[in-house]
Amino acid sequence: MSGEPLLSVDGLSTWIGAGDDVVRAVDQVSFEIRKGETFALVGESGCGKSMTALSIMRLLPDGAGIVGGGVHFGGRDLASLPEREMREVRGRRIAMIFQEPATSLNPVLPVGRQVEEVLVRHAGLRGGAARARVQELFESVGIPDAVRRLDEYPFQLSGGLRQRVMIAIALACEPDLLIADEPTTALDVTIQAQVLDLLAELQRRTGMAMLLITHDLAVVAQMSARVAVMYAGQIVESARTRRFLDKPGHPYARMLLRALPGTDARSGRLASIPGAIPDLRQTFAGCRFAPRCDRVVEACRQSTQTLGAVGDGWEVRCSRVEAATVGQGASPAMPAAPATSRSTGGRQSAAPLLDVQGLQVHFPVKRGLLRRTAAMVRAVDGVDLRLEAGTTVALVGESGCGKTTVGKSIVQLIRPTAGRVVFAGTDLCGLDEQRLARLRKGFQMVFQDPFSSLDPRMRVNEILEEGMVALCPEIGAIERSRRIDSLLERVGLGVAAKGRYPHEFSGGQRQRIAIARALAVEPKVLVCDEPTSALDVSVQAQILNLLKDIQEEMGLAYLFITHNLSVVEYLADEVAVMYLGRIVEQGTAREVLSSPVHPYTQALLAAVPRINSSASRQGRLAGDPPSPTAPPVGCHFQPRCPHATDTCRRDYPASRQVSSTHSVHCILDRPRSAG
């Protein structure tokens, strides 16, 4: 791509703090982005990606500052601009989409007003003109019923809609450069596909450049022309995206690609990266990745590595780059048809460990002064599941379909409205709290966000001991201490972690603590609710390996709630696909993922981004799920289904057997190979 770069980052260094405790968060980082180009910045959490973006925007936290290098945008050095002039650049010419819209949006202002603020500040629009422009922006980013949404608050919107509001704010003044910091991390695959398609379309239409910060390498393959990999505050590799994916040069980049889950790794362990990113307060003598590298030699520990050219537009910070790349191609894309599978075949035990029958969870919607029930939210509306010892059933579907509610109602954190949850021959739904408490140690739950599910005032040993004291009173203090030590060793934390608090650990380590807490009472069933959704690919690999090892050792049964279908392929024996409170397709992982029958399952698989950039992007799912307070008549999916008939619009389809282990709620016989 010819011409002067739109953005040029040259030797950027950003430090946090002072004296001996200074954190060198960004250390001599350089890259360029040209008009209309998408440049991806990837790496583990804590490597400096977001701090690089905040440095460009001059939105650094207290105690942080740019100590070296320059950031040139349109011929101006942003690092030296007075704040008054920087405010004119920020929002108007450079805009940013932050990772978590729920915390970035003001909870007490309607979302329309929040977009208007940008237009008032940078475009001088007010009143009706500003409101009309906001409506136009909402429609352009695909927000349905835009006029009504203008006056709604962030809590009234789904995660996907909140992210679209953030995009509307960022694009309000048609910036030249958009910085997107993990814009799809917590979104399910269909909403992620819609957001990525939206960004690509807006980019084609306006010619804006984009700095995409992500740890999802499949998103990088789909969206970016060039990519840079960061590690410990430095760029360790930079190349054209396809070249990088075909033949990564740096050992760290190669290990990131190998850590991706999928069916090719199903029969073995994922190639997780040992150790953690080093403390950035230290002065480094050699290669920063040396302590974790599988090809390290003594020279790596002694001499500083520089970013050197390997080929045209390809730079690697490694003296052994040729050795690292021999025989190393791209990590394969997630193949839709599993090569191997721990399929349960036609086996159905007479007495499963967990048998869920006709499960319903309805929540009343109360309105008016007297708080009368005006409607019912049918969060779960007739779910059947069977879970056998030593097997994993994955529950997948879009956000809001009822997956988490199913998990919470199974462990009786939410009491079902109707149906049965039979655990080891006992129906949990009919038990009082005292009788339920005696059985509760047999089934535990690992939540999506370990930071909010762990008590920040308790040390790790207290967190692990709490469940044993409550549910296993027969265990004495000495045995509890022994079990805690054993659990911490098993989950890879070590006994030294006992006296520390949750905030002293990384996200992956906190998830290990949550898993250890669940295992402390020796359960037979573990409900895992999106346990890896916000984790880096390397940390995700560690957690998945841990869960697989524990299942083999203890014979645990997992109900694995997720929207990550590559994780499903790696871990699950059976898959249940959920839509608007009901399971629409269920079968072995091989059957559901390789030959999906229901149009919704087909759309989920089509929405998965793939490292193979030539993969088809046809069949993407449009629109948002209907409200569970007023589900559509007939098949709930029919308003979004391209194959819907009059029968679909009139009657909800009964369950139909595709094979002895594969069932679907659909009148259409359209199995499709996901390959």
pLDDT, residue 656, reads 94
> What is d(CA 392, CA 551) in angstroms, rounded to the nearest whole number?
9
> What is d(CA 41, CA 234) in angstroms, rounded to the nearest whole number?
11
- 3-state SS record for 249-299: CCHHHHHHHHCCCCHHHCCCCCCCCCCCCCCCCCCCCCCCCHHHCCCCCHH
Say whether pLDDT at 161 is over 50: yes
* Of 420, 437, 438, 439, the residue nearest 429 (C-alpha): 420
Look up tokens 């779960």; give the residue: 380
Say whether pLDDT at 69 is over 60: yes
Say whether pLDDT at 418 is over 60: yes
CB under 8 Å to 554, separation ≥6 — which residues? 519, 522
Query: In this predicted model, what pLDDT tens digit does every residue of 171-225 receive, in sequence order?
Result: 888 899 999 988 877 677 877 887 888 888 888 888 899 999 988 888 899 899 9
pLDDT, residue 186, reads 63
Phi, psi of 111 (to 5 degrees): -65, -30
Query: In this predicted model, what pLDDT tens digit does every residue of 232-270 receive, in sequence order?
Result: 999 999 999 999 999 899 999 999 988 888 656 566 788
Say whether pLDDT at 323 is over 70: no
Query: Poorest-confidence range of 114-123, 188-197, 506-515?
Result: 188-197
In the chain, the N- to C-terminal Cα span, in Å, equals: 34
Query: In this predicted model, what pLDDT tens digit does every residue of 393-402 receive, in sequence order?
Result: 999 998 778 8
Arithmetic mean of pLDDT, 140-155: 85
pLDDT, residue 672, reads 61
Say whether pLDDT at 535 is over 50: yes
Say whether pLDDT at 625 is over 80: no
* Kind and range of the H or E run holding 658: strand 656-659
Yes or no: say if 550 and 558 are a contact pair by the CB < 8 Å rule: no
**Per-residue confidence band for 32, with pLDDT thresholds at 50, 70 and 90:** very high
Query: Residue 359 has which token pair?
Result: 């499960």
Arithmetic mean of pLDDT, 629-649: 92
Specify the higher pLDDT residue, 309 or 334: 309
Specify the higher pLDDT residue, 340 or 372: 372
**Per-residue confidence band for 330, with pLDDT thresholds at 50, 70 and 90:** very low
**Per-residue confidence band for 671, with pLDDT thresholds at 50, 70 and 90:** low
Look up tokens 């993407």; give the residue: 620
Identify which of 36-40, 183-187, 536-540 has the greatest average pLDDT: 36-40
pLDDT, residue 326, reads 42
Arithmetic mean of pLDDT, 75-97: 90
> What is d(CA 406, CA 561) in angstroms, rounded to the nearest whole number?
9
**Per-residue confidence band for 616, with pLDDT thresholds at 50, 70 and 90:** very low
pLDDT, residue 206, reads 86
Domains and CATH numbers, the chain: 403-419+428-566 (3.40.50.300), 590-675 (no CATH)
How many other CB atoms are there within 10 angstroms of residue 333's CB atom? 22
- Our measurement of the distance from residue 35's CA atom to the centroid of its chain's CA atoms, rounded to an integer in Å, reads 29
Query: Poorest-confidence range of 152-156, 350-354, 476-480?
Result: 350-354
How many other CB atoms are there within 10 angstroms of residue 41's CB atom? 27
> What is d(CA 217, CA 610) in angstroms, rounded to the nearest whole number?
8
pLDDT, residue 467, reads 93
pLDDT, residue 44, reads 85
Q: Please classify residue 367 by burial: count the beta carbons closer than 10 Å to its beta carbon, then call 0-12 exposed, 13-18 middle and 19+ buried.
A: exposed
Say whether pLDDT at 614 is over 70: no
Query: Poorest-confidence range of 111-115, 210-214, 337-341?
Result: 337-341
pLDDT, residue 155, reads 86
Say whether pLDDT at 289 is over 80: yes
Instruction: Determine what percent of the chain is predicted with pLDDT higher than 70.
Output: 91
**Per-position DSSP letters for 389-435, written without gaps between them:** TT-EEEEE--TTSSHHHHHHHHTTSS--SEEEEEETTEEGGG--HHH
pLDDT, the chain, mean: 87
How many other CB atoms are there within 10 angstroms of residue 673's CB atom? 9
Yes or no: say if 178 and 37 are a contact pair by the CB < 8 Å rule: no
Instruction: Determine what percent of the chain is predicted with pLDDT higher than 90.
Output: 52
Say whether pLDDT at 313 is over 60: yes
Yes or no: say if 303 and 317 are a contact pair by the CB < 8 Å rule: no
pLDDT, residue 271, reads 80
pLDDT, residue 609, reads 82
> What is d(CA 32, CA 49) in angstroms, rounded to the nearest whole number?
15
Query: Residue 62 has which token pair?
Result: 């207290």
pLDDT, residue 572, reads 94
Query: Residue 458 has which token pair?
Result: 């308790």
Partnered with residue 393 across adjacent β-strands are 559, 574
Range list of β-strands (E), 143-246: 177-181, 209-213, 226-231, 234-240
